[in-house]
Amino acid sequence: MRKEDLTAHGKRLLQETPVLETLRGLDPKGVNEVLRIVETCAEFARLHAEPKALELDARMEEDPEYFDWDLVRTAGRYRLFSLVVPAVLGGLAGKYMLTAASLGVEEICSACAGIGNMIAATGLGACPLLTPGGMPHWDTVLREIVEGERKGEPVLMAYAITEPSAGTDVEEPHFLAKARIGMEARRVKGGYLLNGRKCFISGGKEAKYLTVCAATDRNRPLETWTVFMVSRDMEGFSVPRVERKMGQRACHAAELLFENVFVPEEYVIGYEGDGMSMGILSIMAASRGPVGAVGTGIARGVLRNFLSWARQEHGGRKPIEEQRIQMEIADMAASIQECRGLVLDHSLAGDRVFGTLLVNPMMKALFALPREFRLSRPYQAFLQSRPGRAASARLLRLLVSEEDMTRLLALASLAKFASTDMAMNVASRALQLMGPGDSEERRRVEKCYRDVKVTQIYEGTNQLNRLTWYMIEHEGSLRVELPRPRL
């Protein structure tokens, strides 16, 4: 693709992110793929998210149970649920999966962060399946996401770790060791019985599959934290309620109830007891950077609306003509640019780790085997067997180092807390400058102000993310440990 063939968004992106322009010189095919994905997200944002943002926000304030399935189907036509599904399965995730996802999320969230979260919740839910322990489910669940889009009935996922008695505590090993855990997964013949509650789960009401972390012994949560896949039609699973939300209303935050939900052994992702490393820290190492992109996206939305407001006359004057306003605009633009740099530092480093996994020749060779063979009973049984699980763990250790993963977690936490705090400041400043007068632009900025708050809370509060960064960079007291093969 030549530069002239890019849309206005593609060209703007290259102008505003010189690192991408440079990378494009070295790897035109890879970066053009990123640009294509970002352009698709920008088109969805412009044609569908932006026009619906205010209306959907107001409707869901009145009726928090409402959910816009039509919009989900539209997002499916743009293939937005396949952003994290590996290309070998027909998805969009390739070598620059995190960079494309981060920049794409920024585009959607610049129009509406609630709609962005409604889409991104599936990506987050799918993340634990992307680890080698999740490979038995690639040809079934992940492919179902791709096929759901093709059929016009998207398959959604969600990620459930938070419990009523443990939020911050489940996101960090030292805290989990002392956490008061309510949910338990008791081992029974052929699998586990899950009992308890999860809360605040984004997209949890609509998800067909959920990746859920639970302790198999509530008195030893750190040692027994395990990742399970739950299907919504499993007996005993229900969604008693959704929250009445202040912001990001387009995406439900649901409470989940597990009453003797039987989860078969094959639905344990990786090893029992490896939940902190593979279900939390490795996932956060990938996903916190994109949450930073939610922040840069919201801040971009604020700036766009603020500019449009400032160009209009208010009380006989155009604010844009005042130097103090021009300086405010320059400050907002500088903060956004600075934080997009942090997000890109994370995503490009992440693509070196995760992207390498996806395009690795060994991985490609595995997926060159005919699909019927991959779905066959003996092959699936091998993947689920002890030697199969040990082979997955070995593969991961061969391709990724604990140092790389730990470093990535630090970059992810830094991008997350810095960008979301920045977005909160930008929204707050813009709203103050706009004053009380009503306008569409002001209503959009006011919505951004409400939308941004939760970005400082989910995926680890910003306090926790600061501590995570400090523990890795200065104390050396936090490390992502990869699973050891068990024979």
Ligand X SMILES: Cc1cc2nc3c(=O)[nH]c(=O)nc-3n(C[C@H](O)[C@H](O)[C@H](O)COP(=O)(O)OP(=O)(O)OC[C@H]3O[C@@H](n4cnc5c(N)ncnc54)[C@H](O)[C@@H]3O)c2cc1C
Residues lying near ligand X in the complex (CB under 6 A): 158-162, 167-168, 171, 175, 200-202, 253, 454, 457-458, 460-461, 463-464
User: In this structure, are strands 184-188 and 191-202 parallel, antiparallel, or unpaired?
Assistant: antiparallel
CA 337 from centre of chain: 21
CB closer to ligand X out of 270 and 460: 460
Q: Closer CB to ligand X, residue 255 or residue 404?
A: 255
- Indicate the residue whose CB is closest to ligand X: 167
d(CA 93, CA 85): 5
CB of 231 to ligand X, least distance (A): 17
User: Tokens representing 68?
Assistant: 């816009």
**Measured between alpha carbons, how far is 291 from 109 in angstroms, rounded to an integer?**
10
Q: Which residue has the tokens 């640009």?
A: 35
CA 92/CA 83 separation, integer angstroms: 5
Q: Output the smallest distance, CB 33 to ligand X, in A.
A: 28
Assess contact for 224 and 217: CB atoms under 8 A: yes
Q: How far apart are CA 258 and CA 206, in angstroms?
A: 16
Q: Is 437 exposed, middle or buried (0-12, 13-18, 19+ CB in 10 A)?
A: exposed
Name the residue nearer to ligand X (CB basis): 274 or 351. 274
Contacts of 70 (CB under 8 A, 6+ apart): none
Minimum CB–partner distance for residue 436 and ligand X (Å):
28
* Least distance in angstroms from the C-beta of 157 to ligand X: 10
In the complex, the smallest distance separating the C-beta of residue 470 from ligand X, rounded to whole angstroms, is 11
Tell the smallest beta-carbon distance from residue 58 to ligand X (Å): 18
Cβ proximity to ligand X: between 96 and 417 the closer is 417
Token pair 């997209």 is found at 203
Q: Which helix (H) or strand (E) holds 409?
A: helix 402-434
Find the shortest distance in angstroms from Cβ 85 to ligand X: 19
Report the distance separating Cα 146 and Cα 468, nearest Å. Answer: 35
Q: Which residues pair with 261 in a beta bridge?
A: 194
CA distance 419 to 302: 14
Q: Please state the closest distance from residue 369 (CB atom) to ligand X, in A.
A: 34
Per the document, the length of the chain is 487
Q: Cβ closer to ligand X: 169 or 404?
A: 169
Query: For ligand X, which is the closer residue by CB, 175 or 367?
Result: 175
Please give, one letter per residue, the 3-state secondary structure of 229-279: EEECCCCCEEEEEECCCCCCCCCCEEEEEEEEEEEEHHHEECCCCCHHHHH
- In the complex with ligand X, which residue's Cβ is closer, 164 or 236? 164
As a whole number of angstroms, the distance between CA 1 and CA 19 comes to 18
Which C-beta is closer to ligand X: that of 161 or that of 383? 161
